[in-house]
Amino acid sequence: MYPELRTPDERSCELCGRAEVWDEDAGTWRVAPGDDDPPVGSLYCIHEWDINGSFVPFAERRETVEG
Ligand SMILES: [Zn+2]
């Protein structure tokens, strides 16, 4: 039993606002359903995923990305 090792089923990007949900059947991430405006975010974003906060400890974690 590995209670800590759960697959997240939602994630969102802190940078561009893209939101995705895990599609278990397809085995891949899909853009979260939106009414008229699906949160696709930016194509060119490197995506900094925030997975409900529980998988990413809020340590000092500043990455410098050029470009
Ligand atoms: Zn992004």
Predicted local confidence at residue 26, as pLDDT: 93
Length of the chain (residues): 67
Predicted local confidence at residue 48, as pLDDT: 93
- Token digits of residue 63: 């990455």
- Spell out the per-residue pLDDT of the chain, length 67, in tens: 555 556 678 899 999 999 999 998 999 999 998 777 888 999 999 999 987 555 545 555 556 666 5
Predicted local confidence at residue 33, as pLDDT: 85
The rounded Å distance from CA 1 to ligand 1 centre is: 33
The rounded Å distance from CA 31 to ligand 1 centre is: 12
Predicted local confidence at residue 6, as pLDDT: 61
* Per-domain residue ranges of the chain: 1-67
The environment of the single-atom ion ligand 1, i.e. residues with CB closer than 5 A, is: 13, 15-16, 18, 41, 45, 47
Predicted local confidence at residue 38, as pLDDT: 81
